[in-house]
Amino acid sequence: MEQPWINFRSDTVTLPTAEMREAMAQAEVGDDVYGEDPSVNRLEELAAAKVGKEAALFVTSGTQGNLVSVLAHTHKGDEVLLEKESHIYYYEVGGMSALGGLIPRLLDSEGGIFSAEAVRKALRGDNIHFPRTSLLCLENTHNRAGGTYWTPAQVAEVAAAAKEAGLRVHVDGARIFNAAVAQGVDVIELTAPVDSVQFCLSKGLGAPVGSMVAGSKEFIARARKWRKMLGGGMRQAGVLAAAGIIALEKMVDRLAEDHALARKIGQELVNIPFLGVDLERLQTNILVVSVDPAWGTAQELLGKLRERGILATDFGPQKVRFVTHEDVGEKDAAKLIKALKEIMS
């Protein structure tokens, strides 16, 4: 089906492939709340193996996956360390506080990446006046920083600092396969030092619905109970899991194509007046473009693009985000570049 728009808003807009649709139609199903859906069970086993963990859990979304993970690691009144523009803090409706009674303590970073020393400085020690700090969260890749990634060494360093202080470590890895592919490393190198990871099937991997949470068997048992409390028991969810299996088996390597296309667009946009691109932060499939106030605002630029059939997202008054994915290609990129040249001139 031909889409009416060229859609750079997010990689969440990808449509399931023909193979996914066929697999969904033919999927073996059962009641997942009873543990009897064979397709879900297969997906969870595959996901756990992919990231090197004992067990995994199929959840409805990345937000739900992060929330059940945070809740499974903590107790009400605990403090959680996380980066100040992280997705968990910025975009997840305050769920950790509203539903978990948890207190966020925010860390400064450079491009979404903070140091082990920053973690140590944030730890306030055992004092009757302070909440117990029990969890550190990372985001890999980091959305608001423009898709920047943590390296295996960086993950290992901050995880070691956290564990020295008795903290658990959770990774919001919504796009962690982008991080792995961009660096040419096995994703397990990015997940081995941490206690849990959430990753999305419905972004660059192209599945229509769902995310995975992975960790120890004990952790997943707790997360499964939290998922049930949050209304995430999905019964015959094998029709969705079937697409997720294909996403993990066949869609990971092609993420490199999205990264290359984003890089190509960014290299063209640096030469367009009134637009700013930080190519050092253009590491994966997210391109954040600054709009010079002398020209106008992000919303004005989005309106001009929309008139030309192109969709993107604002990232603040003067920033626009473009995300590459399976359903945009070279021709779409060329149309975007041409449109921006015309608009900014």
Instruction: Tell me, yes or no, whether 1 lies in a domain.
Output: no
Among 250, 271, 289, give the residue marking a domain's end: 250
Partnered with residue 79 across adjacent β-strands are 103, 133
- Whether residues 25 and 89 share a domain: the answer is yes
User: What are the tens digits of pLDDT across the range 94-118?
Assistant: 999 999 999 999 999 999 999 999 9
Contacts of 301 (CB under 8 A, 6+ apart): 291, 295, 320, 343
Specify whether the CB–CB gap between 298 and 317 falls below 8 A: yes
Instruction: Tell me, yes or no, whether 313 lies in a domain.
Output: yes
Q: What predicted TM-score, i.e. pTM, was given to this entire model?
A: 0.96
Cα–Cα dist 345/337, whole Å: 12
Question: From the CB of residue 110, how many other CB atoms can be counted at a distance below 10 Å?
Answer: 10
- Whether residues 313 and 246 share a domain: the answer is no
**Domain range spanning residue 105?**
18-250
Looking at the structure of the chain, the number of domains it has is: 2
Contacts of 95 (CB under 8 A, 6+ apart): 63, 67
The CATH number for 291's domain is 3.90.1150.10
User: What are the tens digits of pLDDT across the range 144-198?
Assistant: 999 999 999 999 999 999 999 999 999 999 999 999 999 999 999 999 999 999 9
Q: Three-class SS of residue 51?
A: coil
CA–centroid distance for 78 within its chain: 24
pLDDT of residue 1: 38
The CATH number for 227's domain is 3.40.640.10
Cα–Cα dist 146/283, whole Å: 8
Question: From the CB of residue 56, how many other CB atoms can be counted at a distance below 10 Å?
Answer: 24
Given a cut of 90, whether residue 2 has pLDDT beyond it is: no
Instruction: Tell me, yes or no, whether 326 lies in a domain.
Output: yes
- For 327, what's the count of Cα atoms within 13 Å in the CB-facing half-sphere? 26
- For 299, what's the count of Cα atoms within 13 Å in the CB-facing half-sphere? 2
- Give me the amino acid identity at 336: L
Instruction: Tell me, yes or no, whether 281 lies in a domain.
Output: yes
